[in-house]
Amino acid sequence: MKPTPLLAAIALLSTTSHAKTWLLPIPQSVEWTGYQLQLDPDFHIEGASNLYVHEAAQRYHKLITKERWIPYQKNITEITPLKNRQDTLKTLQISVEDAHAKLDFGINEAYNLTIPDSGGKATLDAATWVGALRGLETFSQLIIEDEGTLVAHSSKIQDEPTYPHRGIMLDTSRNFYSVESILRTLDAMSYNKLNVFHWHITDSQSWPLHLEMHPELAQKGAYSPSQIYTTADMRRIVQHAQSRGIRVIPEIDMPSHTASIAESHPHLVACVNKDWEVYGAEPAPGALDPTKNETYALIEDIVSELADIFPDSFFHAGGDEVNSHCWADDETIGPYMKEHGLTTDQLWAQFEDKVGSIVEQNHKRAMIWEDAIVVAKADLSKNVAVQVWTTTPENIIKLGHDIIHSSSDYFYLDCGGGGWVQNDQRYISPDQKATPGDTFNYGGTGGSWCAPYKTWQRIYSFDMTKGIKKQSGHGQVLGGEVALWSEQSDETVLDAKLWPRSSAAAEIFWSGSYDKSGKRRVLSEVWPRMNDWRFRLLKRGIGAIPIVPQWCLSAGTSCLI
């Protein structure tokens, strides 16, 4: 229904206390015009340049009309009332420079989005089809319901990610996740402009990965026949991710964290079934035998099969937590080490070098955990990207490796869940302990090695640039990842563990820890956006957990210190 000229004139003059829309992650540059426009009943999106943009345009059109987002926080002092315009927004015109760019590390995700205050046509100009997807997400966040009608908040946005690698790591070995729960996670990632699904597929506890070349690995190593990812499952996940502009990087953790391989290849894994407190970081210990050619033949088969299923140019080869007794106490590896005068670290470094070559032969760039470099002092190709979880990032950068931030002090989403080793007496009531009255750790970590729980505020306060000197070539910060280790998680708690905490990470990965003027991003700016975003994720079917009592949403700034 078109407003009559008289009504339109009144609408033009009236200022109303409409809610402001909230954007997350915040674009690099946003200019608000102060107007909002009704979305035309025939509103449509034009200019889809390839199949993925076409599908995304349809998806977002449906989302916008279904979501009808009414912002929760209406009484925040910074909100300037928006003026209504009689004009409606009729189209969003997309134009893409490169519609066929390969989705891979460093793909250009920049876009400009303009919703003019005169209505008519909004424009989304993107460098690539992935940039168009990012712009469509932002466009959806600019649409809200106001007094029963959908309105678009007029603005001029210029945006691009600060870091090319923005990920979530999910461990599907300690506990299994259905394909559906992974697909839902990919959707949630796309709402947050996260673009890397780092899939820690296997570990010591189970091998849920079917391989055509080695079906025995999953047959013997999975928890059950229904807890196995088939080749079709993996292709479905890769395809779904691709359509959302998300890369999938598979990880096979090795040489440690491989007891599940012993189920089918017992002669290739050392220290299985030994006392985990001596031989591993947790039950169940086990490390591949680095002295056997057969070990490398198996690794070659695994890497080459996965290289075909996962088109991304990165492959994660694990490489963390080799135990100093596991190999040395083995009845064949121990004597081998003595004969060749090798320490565990030296043997480990050799292993990493060989695995690095296998990854390279399969035309992939290796990514590994920091341990091989920090602990084993492996001198690896500078092309190897290093995921940092405990060390000072600049130590790795100095060596000329690119890094991915995953500090366990900020980005480990499993922390603070308490101990899970079931008869652990150390964290229970002092009067129940073997030595009554012993208060060891009673008020401490509660058995979580990386306690406390990482709140969204803590995640947000990580400085992506701290101690990093700008230099050319390798030795760059590629980005960051939050990590969900799954000893105490499976799909029943997946959304709650990930959201909205991963949104806090998503913003510092996309928008950076500092804005364009060099000002540090701070909690006092982001909190109303986080509060709103939690509910918006909920409306989009993601079980994001509450971060404040609902009371705070209408209490203005009363919930701030």
Ligand X SMILES: *[C@@H]1O[C@H](CO)[C@@H](O)[C@H](O)[C@H]1NC(C)=O
Report, as residue numbers or ranges, the catalytic residues.
321
Helix axes 293-309 and 344-361, enclosed angle (nearest 10): 40
Pick from 84, 88, 112, 531 the residue near ligand X by CB under 6 A: 112
Q: Supply the minimum distance, in Å, between the C-beta of residue 15 and ligand X.
A: 15
| Closer to ligand X by Cβ: residue 112 or 138 | 112
| Closer to ligand X by Cβ: residue 53 or 505 | 53
- CB under 6 A: which stretch of 43-51, 104-112, 419-427, 428-436 binds ligand X? 104-112
Our finding on whether 126 is near ligand X (CB under 6 A) is: yes
Q: Supply the minimum distance, in Å, between the C-beta of residue 557 and ligand X.
A: 6
Element housing 537 (H / E): helix 523-539
Residue nearest to ligand X (CB): 556
> What 8-state DSSP symbol labels residue 294?
H
Q: Which two tokens stand for residue 192?
A: 């947050």
B/e letters for 166-180, b = 16+ CB within 10 Å, e = fewer, are: bbbbbbbbbbbbbee
CA dist list (Å): 27 to 185, 298, 453, 544: 22, 46, 28, 22
Pick from 50, 149, 158, 324 the residue near ligand X by CB under 6 A: 158
Pick from 125, 146, 320, 352 the residue near ligand X by CB under 6 A: 125
Query: CA nearest 150: which of 17, 58, 36?
Result: 36
Q: Is the Cα dihedral 330, 353, 357, 402 positive or negative?
A: positive
- CB under 6 A: which stretch of 29-37, 120-128, 237-245, 417-425 binds ligand X? 120-128
| Closer to ligand X by Cβ: residue 73 or 175 | 73
**Is-contact 396 370, C-beta < 8 A?**
yes
Pick from 15, 75, 273, 343 the residue near ligand X by CB under 6 A: 75
Our finding on whether 127 is near ligand X (CB under 6 A) is: yes
| Closer to ligand X by Cβ: residue 67 or 125 | 125
Our finding on whether 78 is near ligand X (CB under 6 A) is: no
**379 contact partners, CB below 8 Å, separation of at least 6:** 349
Angle formed at CA 39 by CA 534 and CA 121, multiple of 5 degrees: 110
Our finding on whether 289 is near ligand X (CB under 6 A) is: no
Q: Supply the minimum distance, in Å, between the C-beta of residue 459 and ligand X.
A: 28
Helix axes 231-243 and 293-309, enclosed angle (nearest 10): 50
C-alpha to C-alpha distance for 110 and 129, rounded to whole angstroms = 10
Tell me how many residues contact ligand X (CB under 6 A).
10
Q: Supply the minimum distance, in Å, between the C-beta of residue 293 and ligand X.
A: 4
| Closer to ligand X by Cβ: residue 232 or 297 | 297
CA dist list (Å): 106 to 96, 103, 163: 17, 8, 9
- CB under 6 A: which stretch of 108-116, 368-376, 489-497, 499-507 binds ligand X? 108-116
C-alpha to C-alpha distance for 274 and 20, rounded to whole angstroms = 60
DSSP alpha helix (H) spans, 150-207: 179-191
| Closer to ligand X by Cβ: residue 125 or 289 | 125
Q: Using CB under 6 A as the criterion, what x/- string covers residues 292-331 for binding ligand X?
A: -x--------------------------------------
**215 contact partners, CB below 8 Å, separation of at least 6:** none
Q: Which two tokens stand for residue 317?
A: 């080869």
C-alpha to C-alpha distance for 398 and 402, rounded to whole angstroms = 10
Q: Which two tokens stand for residue 151?
A: 């309105």
Q: Is the Cα dihedral 151, 156, 162, 164 positive or negative?
A: positive
Rg of the chain over all Cα atoms, to the nearest angstrom: 26
Q: Supply the minimum distance, in Å, between the C-beta of residue 555 and ligand X.
A: 7
Pick from 53, 110, 372, 508 the residue near ligand X by CB under 6 A: 110
| Closer to ligand X by Cβ: residue 275 or 294 | 294
Q: Supply the minimum distance, in Å, between the C-beta of residue 507 and ligand X.
A: 21
Q: Using CB under 6 A as the criterion, what x/- string covers residues 400-439 for binding ligand X?
A: ----------------------------------------
Q: Supply the minimum distance, in Å, between the C-beta of residue 95 and ligand X.
A: 8
Binding residues for ligand X, rule: CB under 6 A, are 75, 110-112, 125-127, 158, 293, 556
